[in-house]
Amino acid sequence: MKYNVDLELNNKTEQYGLNTVAAQSNGAAWMKSGDTVMLATITYDETDQVDGDFLPLTVQYIEKTYAAGKFPGGFFKRESKPSDFETLTSRVIDRSLRPLFPKGFAHPTQITIMVLSVGAESDLQTLALNAASAALYVSDIDVYTSVTGLRVGKVDGEVIINPTSTQMSDSTLDLYLAGSKEDMLMIEMRSIGSFESEIIPAAIIDPMIDPTMGMDSIGVSKSNAMSEDELIEILAQAQDELKKSNTAYEAAFDAHKKPTTPLNLLTFPESADVLETIKSEYTDAVKVAITKMAKSERATELRSIRKEIIAKYENFDESEVKRTLESYKRELVRAQILNEGVRADGRAVTEIRPITIETNVLPSAHSSALFTRGQTQALVVLTLGGPKDAQMFENLKDKGTQNEEFMVHYNFPGFSVGEPSPVLGPKRRELGHGNLGKRALECVLDRPSHTIRLVSEILESNGSSSMATVCGGYMALRAADISVNDEISGIAMGMVSEGGKHVILSDIMGLEDHDGDMDFKVTGSKNGITALQMDIKLGGISLDVLKMAFMQAKEGRGHIIDIMNDAVEEIEFVDALPSGDIFSIDPSMIGEIIGQAGKTIREIIEKFEVAIDIDKKVGSVKVSGTNKQRVQDARAHIEGIASAPKPEKIEYMVGDIVDGKVKKIVDFGAFIELPGGTDGLLHISKVSEVRVERVSDVLSEGEAIKVEILEFKGNKISLGRA
């Protein structure tokens, strides 16, 4: 492969073959970094345009399993449905590159990124965005701005730009940014909890499983929520790196840019007559429509105004009236916030809508929480399981399958916004919101000894149902008596900015998300941030303004946490909630708990109807079941075995005569229990001086007997009748 661009960047190198392959696409970038090779292409339909002010852009990030020398998993040996990682990466690239297209560009456009070879230490998400941006930059579309990805980790207190995969495995921070040399456009961040002991894939022990397999090492997590001040410092450093890298990209790519193709960009002029008519005759009606909180109700009101105008002024074009009315509505919403500090629903800019919380509203679920904030409502339901219930998955760079033991699934049915749409599988947005909820809560789970699934059913939505999912998810954890090391809530922030004036909005509703300049979701405790997701519509934001948003979000999170703490005091656990207990015993007694060939532990499981998970290294024992009393009884039984005094170990020699007891009779002899807890075999030929057909004709179980030590064969002792 011929590369025409070589770049040395912070902690990595990238080589590009620009427009050297895929020649019939509008732009192509063959990118190599280490052992990772990707091909990014962009293609658009020059002859077709969609109606409306909308960019029909589709981004597909595709991982080829041959890139890692693998076959696709499953029955069909061909890549098919994209993995969650592929879908989330496609979404990240879409959100990062969409703002670059010229206004009025309405041609159906496809960006495809294929991973052709993969290196173990590569950050695929960052490289994929860089390759896609390169393809767009050198295409014949009128784009002369580079947007690239940057990841930041923190290992042993040291901030690392573009860390390797190995470094990220030890990091307490995962910060991903996309931006140009002037602006940060998108931020995603999560804090990563730390554990005192290694977490090993577990298997719950039951009568059908060998108890010597799949032990679970149980660790205690420590929250690594990051303070707002520290995050701002890191973002400032990252912003400098984005400026350096994008300056280098643009300088290197300029010579390979295709000649720009003249495009017919759509324009949407507003009629001065229509605007003046709306202002003079319908301002009050538009203000009334703005106060309608539900999206469907607001749309109905604006539609009625539009129909009235069309009926009264037949010379007005309906599409022009619709655009002008929408623009004027946006102007009123923003002006009221900027000039009066009052929002469409009458709230102050820092005011949070009323919150109500009900827990365990579903008697047969393990736990549930109904979280309502204004016109947004999430029903979050928790299910507890063992390690066998974990979601198996395998990423391209993995050497084998992994288990996902904490899942957050987000569902957004059409009825939540008053739309008659069918309930289908999860879309990119639903996967993204579920992933955000997982990142927000995962780092505060105290003991990863369960498989936990949270499902958020959005019943009503008017602003940040993802943050309602986080709050409801935290309450569902508490309603299931899951131990957490911090209190977590989430809040969506917005901003209106004009003429150098910035107003930050707490707990934005759908109208403010649509007509505002920023969508900023932040989760965390009263002391720090566990996850955030930000999309900036302005093209950039200063760190001073961002810090204002952080601190206002912190105040809002604290307010919500206080309300949730009150609700925690009212929790009543449901009968369906499985009971679990984790305790420690002397590791040297684990063998006594398991017993010979697992006999003892199987008897405990059957007797008390529980599941048992053991870590032989540290002596941790987890007992779980559907009945709390049985779980407690099983624990007492296990602790009784562990605390029983060990018999004194006796060293035997050949020729010793000892008193024993017949422990078990078999066809070929009898097992004799000797003093000190040692067993020996009395062969049928040694049971009597005369030959016998059946041992039971001579001996019975429990009978006392004198035996002689005849021989040692490894750990086995052969006995004779004394």
Neighbours of 206 (CB within 10 A): 16
Domain 355-568 has CATH 3.30.230.70: yes
CATH fold of 5-182+226-256, please? Ribosomal Protein S5; domain 2 (3.30.230)
The answer on pLDDT for 198 being more than 80 is no
d(CA 658, CA 306) in angstroms, rounded, equals 104
d(CA 201, CA 350) in angstroms, rounded, equals 45
Contacts of 231 by beta carbon, 8 Å cutoff, 6+ apart: 175, 189, 529, 550
pLDDT of residue 75: 76
Q: Give me the residue label for tokens 């007797």.
A: 607
What's the rounded mean pLDDT across residues 24-40?
96
d(CA 111, CA 369) in angstroms, rounded, equals 40
Neighbours of 599 (CB within 10 A): 10
The answer on pLDDT for 715 being more than 80 is no
pLDDT of residue 203: 32
pLDDT of residue 679: 86
SS3 assignment, position 578: coil
What's the rounded mean pLDDT across residues 277-291?
89
- pLDDT band of residue 383 (cuts 50, 70, 90) is very high
Neighbours of 357 (CB within 10 A): 21
pLDDT of residue 207: 30
- pLDDT band of residue 222 (cuts 50, 70, 90) is low
Lookup: tokens for 105: 């560009």
Q: What is the CATH number of domain 272-340?
A: 1.10.10
What's the rounded mean pLDDT across residues 49-66?
90
The answer on pLDDT for 205 being more than 50 is no
Q: What Å distances lie between residue 714 and 7, 162, 391, 680, 718, CA to CA?
A: 65, 56, 43, 12, 11
Q: Check if the beta carbon of residue 452 is closer than 8 Å to that of residue 445.
A: yes
Residue 310: exposed, middle, or buried by beta-carbon count in 10 A (0-12, 13-18, 19+)?
A: middle
Least confident of 50-64, 517-531, 589-603: 589-603
pLDDT of residue 532: 93
Q: Average model confidence (pLDDT) for the chain?
A: 87
Instruction: Please tell me the CATH superfamily of domain 579-643, with its number.
Output: K Homology domain, type 1 (3.30.1370.10)
The answer on pLDDT for 199 being more than 60 is no
Q: Same fold for the domain at 272-340 and the one at 355-568? A: no
The total number of residues written for the chain in this structure: 722
Domains of the chain, residue spans? 5-182+226-256, 272-340, 355-568, 579-643, 657-721
pLDDT of residue 447: 58
Q: Which CATH architecture has domain 657-721?
A: Beta Barrel (2.40)
pLDDT of residue 647: 63
What's the rounded mean pLDDT across residues 406-424?
91
What SS3 string covers 133-155?
HHHHHCCCCCCCCCCEEEEEEEE
The answer on pLDDT for 518 being more than 80 is yes
